[in-house]
């Protein structure tokens, strides 16, 4: 039986998660697949041979991109040379647009079957071109229905089969078990805080979260505050909140590896902009979307504001309207966060109606088996 060598190029934590579920599904049916390349812990868990860990390299803005430029340039050149030398049967690219767009253009003449999962800027409804995809003759599996239409119009073989997060974003425990495990009294009002997956995001949000928690605790000492974290940053978050929150610190639970339980069982979410906002909508929890940015990022945003999208949250982008309140830059402060929380929670029924519309747009579960089947056809796997 022929073994299919599948190189993976994935550079963000959300991409690593989504791709790991695809790999797991493919391995259920096909026993002759070997995955290797760029990714993180989730792909490694599914048996992918990770050459370089890149799941923490997702960046926002020019300045943040420059900070990782040299390391990424090194990985890019090494991985490109590997692909040219090894000639895998398939190159599976996932998101990570600034890296993968260069990679597939460089490999356009190498006769490698390229499949792009979560293509660059697939969320944009006014995408003007897809040069890298057309030049490399990549096939595409996209998570948004409008993206399929746009890319097909460019002459690209593109398929929308539904968004995999509809299959993935689910609580792993009952509410009763989760509360018991995390020592949360049943009568508590529970609020969830998601500061971001990147360290610089955590650093720029955690002080504001701490001050917000301190004030919310003074209003109601029965409130419990859940902080979503990775193992890598949990100690940092704990130290920062302990220094800020005073008595409220003892009502904080820093929880790792259970972001969907936090989302599902919180009354409200204070959520850093990104994939988490869509996960929160899928799990039906009201929220505020926020992105403070570093000082330099805020300056960059002010300069480039006219050329940037006016809406940043995925739930809002999908419905072309403000379903979930958004705060950017200096507007991310305790006054605004608390005010929006109190206002939004009174409208939760309307918000949940809009969330249902979002889920309907994104498809019908099960989705990942359909994606795996289409990938296998595109890859000519037998």
Residues with Cβ within 8 Å of 37's Cβ and at least 6 positions away in sequence, in order, are: 7, 8, 9, 10, 48, 49, 50, 51, 79, 92
- Which pLDDT score, from 0 to 100, does residue 167 have? 98
Q: Is residue 303 part of a domain?
A: yes
Residues 250, 321 within the same domain = yes
- Which pLDDT score, from 0 to 100, does residue 62 have? 44
> Taking Cα atoms as reference points, which of 326, 189, 338 lies closest to residue 265?
189
- Which pLDDT score, from 0 to 100, does residue 70 have? 83
Q: What angle do CA 180, 181, 182 make, to 5 degrees?
A: 95
Residues 131, 225 within the same domain = no
| DSSP H/E element including 14 | helix 13-29
Question: Residue 271 phi/psi, 5° resolution?
Answer: -120, 120
Residues 157, 190 within the same domain = no
For the record, the structure tokens of 282 come out as 């899928």
Residues 37, 71 within the same domain = yes
Question: Residue 128 phi/psi, 5° resolution?
Answer: -95, -25
Q: What is the residue-wise DSSP string for 250-267?
A: GGEEEEES-HHHHHHH-S
Residues 371, 355 within the same domain = no
- Judging by beta carbons within 10 Å of its beta carbon (0-12, 13-18, 19+), is residue 360 exposed, middle or buried? exposed
Q: Name the residue range of residue 143's domain.
A: 4-164+367-379
Residues 244, 373 within the same domain = no
Q: Is residue 169 part of a domain?
A: no
- Which pLDDT score, from 0 to 100, does residue 55 have? 74
Which pTM value belongs to this model? 0.92
- Which pLDDT score, from 0 to 100, does residue 301 have? 46
Question: What is the DSSP pairing of strand 158-160 with strand 139-142?
Answer: parallel
- Which pLDDT score, from 0 to 100, does residue 57 have? 67
Residues 137, 264 within the same domain = no
Looking at the structure of the chain, the number of domains it has is: 2
Burial track 85-123 (b if 16+ CB lie within 10 A, e otherwise): eeebbbbbbbbbbebbbebbbbbeeeebbbbbbbbbebb
Task: pLDDT tens for the chain, 382 residues: list them.
Answer: 889 999 999 988 899 999 999 999 999 999 999 999 999 999 999 999 999 998 766 544 444 555 677 888 999 999 999 999 999 999 999 999 989 999 999 999 999 999 999 999 999 999 999 999 999 999 999 999 999 999 999 999 999 999 999 999 999 999 999 999 999 999 999 999 999 988 889 999 999 999 999 999 999 999 999 999 999 999 999 999 999 999 999 999 999 999 999 999 999 999 999 999 999 999 999 999 999 875 455 554 454 555 556 788 999 999 999 999 999 999 999 999 999 999 999 999 999 999 999 999 999 999 999 999 999 999 999 8
- Which pLDDT score, from 0 to 100, does residue 61 have? 47
């Amino acid at each position: 039986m022929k073994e299919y060598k599948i190189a993976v190029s994935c550079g963000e934590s959300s991409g690593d998660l989504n791709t790991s579920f695809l790999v797991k599904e493919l391995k259920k049916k096909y026993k002759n697949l070997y995955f290797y390349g760029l990714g993180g812990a989730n792909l490694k868990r599914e048996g992918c041979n990770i050459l370089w860990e890149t799941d923490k390299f997702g960046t926002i803005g020019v300045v943040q991109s420059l900070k990782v430029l040299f390391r990424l340039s090194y990985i890019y050149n090494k991985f490109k040379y590997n692909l040219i030398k090894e000639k895998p049967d398939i190159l599976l690219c996932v998101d990570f647009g600034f890296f993968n767009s260069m990679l597939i253009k460089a490999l356009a003449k190498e006769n490698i079957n390229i499949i792009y999962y979560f293509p660059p800027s697939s969320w944009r409804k006014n995408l003007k071109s897809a040069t890298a995809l057309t030049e490399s003759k990549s096939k595409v599996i996209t998570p948004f229905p409008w993206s399929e239409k746009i890319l097909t119009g460019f002459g690209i073989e593109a398929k929308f089969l539904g968004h995999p997060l509809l299959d993935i974003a689910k609580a792993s425990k009952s509410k009763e078990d989760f509360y018991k495990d995390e020592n949360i009294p049943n009568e508590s009002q529970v609020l969830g805080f998601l500061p971001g997956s990147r360290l610089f995001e955590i650093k720029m949000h955690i002080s504001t979260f701490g001050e917000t928690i301190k004030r919310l605790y003074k209003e109601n000492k029965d409130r419990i505050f859940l902080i979503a974290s990775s193992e890598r940053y949990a100690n940092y978050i704990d130290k920062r909140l302990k220094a800020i929150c005073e008595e409220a610190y003892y009502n904080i639970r820093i929880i790792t590896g259970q972001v969907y339980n936090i989302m599902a069982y919180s009354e409200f979410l204070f959520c850093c902009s990104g994939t988490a906002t869509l996960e929160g909508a899928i799990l039906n929890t009201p929220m505020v979307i926020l992105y403070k940015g570093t000082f330099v990022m805020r300056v960059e945003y002010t300069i480039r504001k006219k050329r940037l999208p006016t809406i940043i949250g995925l739930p809002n982008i999908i419905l072309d309207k403000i379903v979930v309140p958004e705060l950017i830059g200096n507007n991310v402060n305790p006054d605004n966060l608390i005010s929006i929380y109190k206002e939004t929670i009174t409208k939760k029924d309307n918000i949940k109606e809009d969330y249902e519309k979002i889920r309907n747009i994104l498809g019908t579960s099960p989705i990942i088996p359909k994606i795996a089947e289409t990938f296998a056809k595109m890859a000519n796997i037998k």
